[in-house]
Amino acid sequence: MTKAPQPDERPHQRTTDTDVLVVGAGITGVYQLYRAREMGFSAQLVEAGGGVGGTWYWNRYPGARFDSESYTYAYLFSKDLFDEWEWQEHFAEQPETERYLNHVVDRFDLRRHIRFDTRVTSATFDDSSGTWAVGTEDGSQLRARFLVAATGVLSVPYFPDVPGREDFRGESYHTGLWPGTPVDFADKRVAVIGTGSSGVQIVPVIADEVASLTVYQRSANWCTPLNNAPITPKEQQELRAGFEDMCEVLNTSIAGFLHPVGDRAAFDDSETERRAFFERMWNSPGFSKLSSNYTDLLFNEAANAEWCEFIAQKIRGIVKDPGVAEMLIPKDHRFGEKRPPFVTGYYETFNKPNVSLVDLKQTPIIRVTETGIETDDGEWPFDVVVWATGFDFGTGALTRMGIRGRHGLALEEYWSDGPRTFLGVQTTGFPNFFFPGGPHAAAGNNPRYNGDQVDFITDAITYVRDHGYDTIEVDAAAEDKWTAMVDRGAADAPFGESSYFFGTNIPGKPRKYLLNSGGRPKLFKEIDKVIESDYKSFRLARSSDRGHGRQR
Ligand code: NAP
């Protein structure tokens, strides 16, 4: 291995505006900016939005909040930061998270390295210098050695192609593109289309304010209570005292949660015990209904069916109109087949006299008109239409950024049959380009997994710099192997093909599993192998304009 060069031998500063250019000021991008600067790189971040937050900047709809525990979603790299920020609730609302991320940026003096209102529209790899030329919507160009797209998996909102959508003359919003100024719902006739995690969060929060609320549901979801609560002063103290232990669990657990993992299969218990256990699950916080539930819940049909029947009974107990209750009970998928939403007062909302539910499978939307929505049973006037219709998951942002790798290879073409990656961080033909938190990441508490990827990327580019190389590019064989592992995982995944984790919510998108079902253990194992083998899965090279063109 080549000896680390002295600083004056390093070409990076001569040819670029910055060593590392990060795209996206969400929780992952901000961490990447922090880590790159910590390791002595020059680093800048460009962000399409006007502020910090990413998901927590764009999804400002009423009711948007975590469904991972606030302190488990937050950064863990600084105990001082952890100590000084007191999360108000176990599951924080969007404004608090946006404030937190702004605090982090200022606390670590990162704001001066961020350019807001700057959308990347092209990024072209220059083989001779081993750098990226990045173009932005406002016409500016930046040259960087390393390009890190922390652009998020759920960042390109999806609007279904409903005829007349553009004709509507009232107010129209997507939950994932919510305006910065509050929307006034008072006394308005409001339609919400979509009942995924976003739709079921906004519905109960606006119901009391509006004149009428019509919820358009295509598929019912298995919603269970979030069971949020304020964090008491005693709990605040315990969180601080238990920081190290908490990090240990979060940094090693499969899905990045604190919830203890279940230790019994469903039919190890008697029917009475099962009923009591399900009751405890129903009353438990957030994702513990998945992590701490019966070990065979997602893989044993009979166990899953019992849990679903338990939830169905809960819905029938809450919703007074039996017809509406039946519409709210999923009939087309089992629990966990889609990413389950967690709710606060969602089912109760349908008992309010001004709230109605439309089953789009019975009564499809024909078109949007200038004044409302026309379905099979007539035209209904609205003042506001909210599209809670989801996102182009995983690849949406990356394939729209005009990324061109070696020999002009377009990322969207290279991935036209689905993404190909190694560790969900790099793809062959695109040297020095990384995408933490992109496709082939694992399901779970996103910042934990994405943070692992950022740490890996930071180690990798530090290795490249310190060993006198200019470029790092994953070998095709390593990419093939990881991609095949992801494809194979689709067969064993708890998620079904109706889940957006297969890209099936976007018309024309290839049906490919987009998650690493090996989760963090698989990621850690592969990262260890990479480090132990001195980055053998990657081609490390010096760029040809340094006169060497040498590679390993
Ligand atoms: P989503 O889960 O993809 O839900 C989209 C909804 O729109 C579904 O109900 C879908 O129906 C419906 N839809 C799509 N096309 C439609 C059409 N043509 N006509 C009628 N309805 C249509 O999107 P999301 O609710 O924005 O959530 C996406 C993800 O964001 C979540 O799974 C979660 O990971 C994240 N999120 C997290 C939180 C949180 O609590 N932290 C909150 C919000 C979102 P079908 O089911 O029939 O396709």
Please, which pLDDT band fits residue 494 given cuts at 50, 70 and 90? confident
For 224-261, how does the pLDDT look when each residue is reduced to its tens digit (9 = 90+)? Answer: 999 999 999 999 999 999 999 999 999 888 889 999 99
For 265-289, how does the pLDDT look when each residue is reduced to its tens digit (9 = 90+)? Answer: 999 999 999 999 999 999 999 999 9
Q: By alpha-carbon position, which residue is closest to atom 26 of ligand 1?
A: 390
* Pocket around ligand 1 at a 6 A CB cut-off: 66-67, 154, 160, 175, 193-199, 201, 218-219, 339, 360, 388-391, 500, 505
Report the residue among 66, 158, 177, 197 best suited for mutation to probe ligand 1: largest number of ligand atoms under 8 A from its CB: 197
435 C-alpha to center of ligand 1: Å?
Answer: 23
What is the average pLDDT across 30-59?
98
pLDDT attached to residue 550:
55
Name the residue with higher pLDDT: 80 or 11.
Answer: 80
Q: Which of 135, 29, 147 is nearest to 473 (CA)?
A: 147
Q: What is the percentage of the chain residues whose pLDDT exceeds 90?
A: 91
Determine whether 552 is exposed, middle or buried from the number of CB atoms within 10 Å of its CB (0-12, 13-18, 19+).
middle
Whether the pLDDT of residue 145 is over 50: the answer is: yes
- In angstroms, the CA 91 to CA 71 distance is 9
353 C-alpha to center of ligand 1: Å?
Answer: 25
pTM for this model (two decimals): 0.95
Whether the pLDDT of residue 436 is over 80: the answer is: yes
What is the average pLDDT across 362-372?
97
Neighbours of 379 (CB within 10 A): 13
For 49-71, how does the pLDDT look when each residue is reduced to its tens digit (9 = 90+)? Answer: 999 999 999 999 999 999 999 99
Q: Please answer whether residues 379 and 238 qualify as being in contact, where contact means their C-beta atoms are separated by less than 8 angstroms.
A: no
216 C-alpha to center of ligand 1: Å?
Answer: 12
What is the average pLDDT across 453-477?
98
Report the residue among 218, 289, 362 best suited for mutation to probe ligand 1: largest number of ligand atoms under 8 A from its CB: 218
Q: Given CA atoms 419, 425, 427, 430 in this order, what sign does their dihedral have?
A: positive
What is the average pLDDT across 327-345?
97
SS (H, E, C) 227-291: CCCECCHHHHHHHHHCHHHHHHHHHHCCCCCCCCCCCCCHHHCCHHHHHHHHHHHHCCCCCHHHH
Whether the pLDDT of residue 294 is over 90: the answer is: yes
Which run of H or E residues covers position 310? helix 301-318
3-state SS, residue 459: helix
- In angstroms, the CA 161 to CA 389 distance is 11
Please, which pLDDT band fits residue 545 given cuts at 50, 70 and 90? low
pLDDT attached to residue 94:
98
